[in-house]
Structure 1
Amino acid sequence: MLDVGLAVVSALECAAEGFRFAHSAGLPVPVGVIFGLVAGAVLVLRRRWPVAVVLVSVAITPAQMGFLLGLVGLYTLAASELPRRIIGALAGMSFAGTMIVGFVRAYQDAAGGGLTIGDWFVPFVAITMSLGMTAPPVLLGLYVGARRRLMESLRERADSLERELQLLAERAEERAEWARSEERRRIAREMHDVVAHRVSLMVVHAAALQAVARKDPEKAVKNAALVGDMGRQALTELREMLGVLRAGESAVPVAEPVPLAGVGAAAAAAASRAAQDEGAEGPSLAELDELVGQSREAGMVVELWVEGKSRVYAPEVEQTAYRVVQEALTNVHKHAAGAKARVRLAHRASEIAMQVENEPPPAASASDARLPSGGNGLVGMKERVAALGGVFVSGPTDAGGFRVSAVIPAGR
């Protein structure tokens, strides 16, 4: 609406000036009026083609028309995104045309009025008039264009910052979810290792107790005592784990809100602290003989071979090695009852290696214990070893047994 209004005013102005130009030039009046209307109406295109508007204003300057057309055209041109050299060239053309027309008109007026004025007056009037017609709209347009570009840049910067904050919040939520998932998997692995091994041995001893209760009461009493001991050990380990979880819950203030950007870091720190607590309070390789002895008491033939000089490793390394052997022996109890097993532990310069291999189970005792399996033992062992940068391999042997191998770097 603004452009149309300006174009209408410019067309009327140019039509009035065209009427005067037609009289002075000896042209038909309708031709001058129509020419002025068309030339002034070009201002409606100032936003799309500002160069064309300025060129039209320069072209009709000798006819002494287009005052509003020139001012608005130069302002729009200077405020546009065109290169400065184009703006300067067109402004110079407008300045030169206005100055020439102003010089001629001032000279004619001075000569027609019979005034005797100094030679400096006509150039002074021409230069002053051309500067007044050119400089203000150009300077104002440059200022408005620069301010507009600055506001657009600030708006784009604010939008960019808002998008970055949104991405940071999404990444923080993803890190928090990842930390929660890692903590759930860690707890699931620990619960599986603690419960599965102890309960599996309890089931094996219970089956043996049922078989010899009437034939050999002394052995039945011994098996019953072993079942009780293992049950108490399982309860003790469960209480320790639940105590760690409750301590972790009480350490986090529930009433205070946590900033969204810090959720991922807080959850990751909590997971790291939980992992450190796990490594500090978990079993170690010094308890490996006791672990093998429990399987022997359950009736399994187990051989333990240790190679290299024993030394102390980081708590998480020792616990992972212990859990791998523990879960492998538990799987032998579950899936190969009565089979002979061999446990190998090798202390090397920069790593510790372990292998648990069992022979095929006797056909008569393959399903005596009837132990269920959730299928998570091998997955848990692989996750534990991979978390420390180690390598885990498991699979059947050529003889029909099963082998579990793991290598863990000792430099942590």
Structure 2
Amino acid sequence: MTTTGEEHEAARGGPWWWARWRSAVLDGALAAASAVECAVEGVPFARDAGIAPAVGVVFGLLAGSVLVVRRRWPIAVVLVAIAITPAEMGFLMGVVGLYTLAASELPRRIIGSLAGMSLVGTLIVTFVRVRQDMARGDLTLGDWFVPFASITTAIGMTAPPVLLGLYVGARRRLMESLRERADSLERELQLLAERAEERAEWARGEERTRIAREMHDVVAHRVSLMVVHAAALQAIARKDPDKAVKNAALVGDMGRQALTELREMLGVLRSGDGVRGGSSSAVPAAVEVAAAAAVAVSRAVVDEGAVEGPCLSDVEELVGQSAAAGMVVDLSVEGEARSYAAEIEQTAFRVVQEALTNVHKHAAGAKTYVRLAHRVSEIAMQVENEPPPEAGSASSARLPSGGNGLVGMKERVVALGGVFVSGPTEAGGFRVSAVIPAV
């Protein structure tokens, strides 16, 4: 099991310059062993130097204990080992010091220089000692043995710890690099997860906006006509019972149509629950899929083969319903009628529907003109009403307005790459125009 760089740093808790207590105990044990070795080797050194053995022992203890600072000052340890090499002391300190030096972050030239000095020092000391032993007769080998023993001992005391230290240092640096990369990848994954969550939130917002727009388009027009008919029904209930019955029947038909469209829309949303559903413990990649699914489901109502929505052929019936509610409507169609993509036809229908609903709300009794133009690569529609009979008066039915109708129409048209313009006319009426690409 690997750890990241932050966890690795959190594990540091040793005394002074040690990263861990384990390292401090190891260095203390090595320093103690080196001190004992140097103390033992200090006895013959003192005898050869003509000083008291106690001085040699104390000198060995002090020199050997320097190994305790090998991690903090590896150069000092190696220099002390080189300095006491002529006294034939500190072999353990020399080997461990060279290993620590090679494994450190010091420049290669410093490591090479100190390793070379240690090699030369060991070579000279060994050469002199072996030559003296042969001169005293302790060794009876040939003259070839002196250089052989010197070179072999020097290389054996220097090369292995240096090579092992270089390997361990390179491996340590590689592990640090991998930890840094792991930290970087973890931060990137966290950032991707946050972005995926933002996209999912954006998709949910888009879906809420679309549902609100659909509900507004489905309910507002039908309910507006129902309110208009109900007001008319209230006015003529006693004067003209036959017309009142007719208006009541129209109100019932419109209510049933509104309920049917609402059920169809809710059915599509419920069918999308299985697509969007998922485990709460999903990984960030699943969040992306959920976001994409939410967008896909949010467009399901207007896709071909989903719920059968309104189309341009229903505009004549729409105009008829408004005329039945008392509005004077003039419908004109230019160009040859043809079929378009379901989303285009539904958007065109909703624009006309919402524009007529606004006339019912804000200009009751005003004459209205509905124009459709089938062009080569686009379809254009325009709904314009004259000023109401009493300029500036509100609808007698007192229809409420949420102020979202024009916004929803513009969102629909712009989403298809079209152009939407609305505003008052010079004559005091209001005009809604839209052009939608048909390719």
User: Same-fold call, TM > 0.5?
Assistant: yes
CA offset digits 1:316-362 (Å, max 9, x no partner):
12111211221122122112222333334444444434333434432
The one-letter amino acid paired with 1:374 is G
Aligned: 1:390 with 2:418: yes
The one-letter amino acid paired with 2:71 is R
The one-letter amino acid paired with 1:187 is I
Q: Which residue pairs with 2:368 in the alignment? A: 341
Aligned: 1:108 with 2:147: no
Aligned: 1:53 with 2:67: no
The one-letter amino acid paired with 1:334 is K
Q: Which residue pairs with 2:6 in the alignment? A: none
Q: Is the 8 Å Cα contact of residues 338 and 366 (structure 1) preserved in structure 2? A: no
Aligned: 1:3 with 2:17: no
The one-letter amino acid paired with 2:434 is A
Q: Is the 8 Å Cα contact of residues 265 and 301 (structure 2) preserved in structure 1? A: no
Identify the match of residue 296 of structure 1 among 323, 328, 352: 323
Identify the match of residue 309 of structure 2 among 282, 305, 319: 282
- What's the secondary structure of 1:144's corresponding residue? helix
CA offset digits 1:220-240 (Å, max 9, x no partner):
343333223222222222232
CA distance in 2, matches of 1:168, 1:364: 54
Q: Is the 8 Å Cα contact of residues 98 and 161 (structure 2) preserved in structure 1? A: yes
Kindly tell me the number of residue pairs found equivalent between the two proteins.
410
Q: Which residue pairs with 1:313 in the alignment? A: 340
The one-letter amino acid paired with 2:238 is R
Q: Which residue pairs with 2:145 in the alignment? A: 121
Q: What aligned pairs does 1:338-377 form with structure 2 within 5 A after superposition? A: 338-361=365-388, 362-363=390-391, 365-377=393-405
Q: Please state how far the C-alpha of 1:216 moved relative to its aligned partner.
A: 3.7
Q: 1:61 to 1:201 in 2, by over 3 A?
A: same
Q: Please state how far the C-alpha of 1:93 moved relative to its aligned partner.
A: 2.8
CA distance in 2, matches of 1:115, 1:306: 123
Q: Is the 8 Å Cα contact of residues 172 and 265 (structure 1) preserved in structure 2? A: no
CA offset digits 1:191-230 (Å, max 9, x no partner):
2111110010111122122223333444434333322322
- What's the secondary structure of 1:406's corresponding residue? strand
Q: Please state how far the C-alpha of 1:131 moved relative to its aligned partner.
A: 2.0
CA distance in 1, matches of 2:73, 2:424: 80
Q: What aligned pairs does 1:169-180 form with structure 2 within 5 A after superposition? A: 169-180=193-204
Q: What aligned pairs does 1:5-404 form with structure 2 within 5 A after superposition? A: 5-14=29-38, 17=41, 20-21=44-45, 24-25=48-49, 36=60, 38-113=62-137, 115-153=139-177, 155-156=179-180, 166-167=190-191, 169-249=193-273, 259-260=282-283, 261-266=285-290, 268-269=292-293, 271-273=295-297, 275-280=299-304, 281-361=308-388, 362-363=390-391, 365-397=393-425, 399-404=427-432
When structure 1 is superposed on structure 2, of 314-323 and 369-378 the one drifting more is 369-378
CA distance in 1, matches of 2:205, 2:301: 18
Q: Please state how far the C-alpha of 1:303 moved relative to its aligned partner.
A: 3.7
CA offset digits 1:349-400 (Å, max 9, x no partner):
4443433343443248523111122233233223323433334444445554
When structure 1 is superposed on structure 2, of 32-41 and 368-377 the one drifting more is 32-41
When structure 1 is superposed on structure 2, of 366-375 and 153-162 the one drifting more is 153-162
When structure 1 is superposed on structure 2, of 30-39 and 295-304 the one drifting more is 30-39
Q: Is the 8 Å Cα contact of residues 291 and 326 (structure 1) preserved in structure 2? A: yes
CA distance in 1, matches of 2:315, 2:271: 28
Q: Is the 8 Å Cα contact of residues 174 and 264 (structure 1) preserved in structure 2? A: no
Q: Is the 8 Å Cα contact of residues 338 and 365 (structure 1) preserved in structure 2? A: no
The one-letter amino acid paired with 1:122 is V
Q: 1:252 to 1:25 in 2, by over 3 A?
A: same
Q: Is the 8 Å Cα contact of residues 276 and 293 (structure 2) preserved in structure 1? A: no
CA distance in 1, matches of 2:53, 2:426: 113
**What TM-score, normalized to structure 1?**
0.84
Q: Is the 8 Å Cα contact of residues 79 and 144 (structure 1) preserved in structure 2? A: yes
The one-letter amino acid paired with 1:244 is V
The one-letter amino acid paired with 1:301 is V
CA distance in 2, matches of 1:196, 1:147: 72
- What's the secondary structure of 2:395's corresponding residue? coil
When structure 1 is superposed on structure 2, of 275-284 and 314-323 the one drifting more is 275-284
The one-letter amino acid paired with 1:10 is S
CA distance in 2, matches of 1:19, 1:247: 93
CA distance in 2, matches of 1:27, 1:358: 123
The one-letter amino acid paired with 1:286 is S
Unaligned runs of 5+ in 2: 1-23
- What's the secondary structure of 1:404's corresponding residue? strand
Unaligned runs of 5+ in 1: none
CA distance in 2, matches of 1:199, 1:348: 33
- What's the secondary structure of 2:28's corresponding residue? helix
**What TM-score, normalized to structure 2?**
0.79
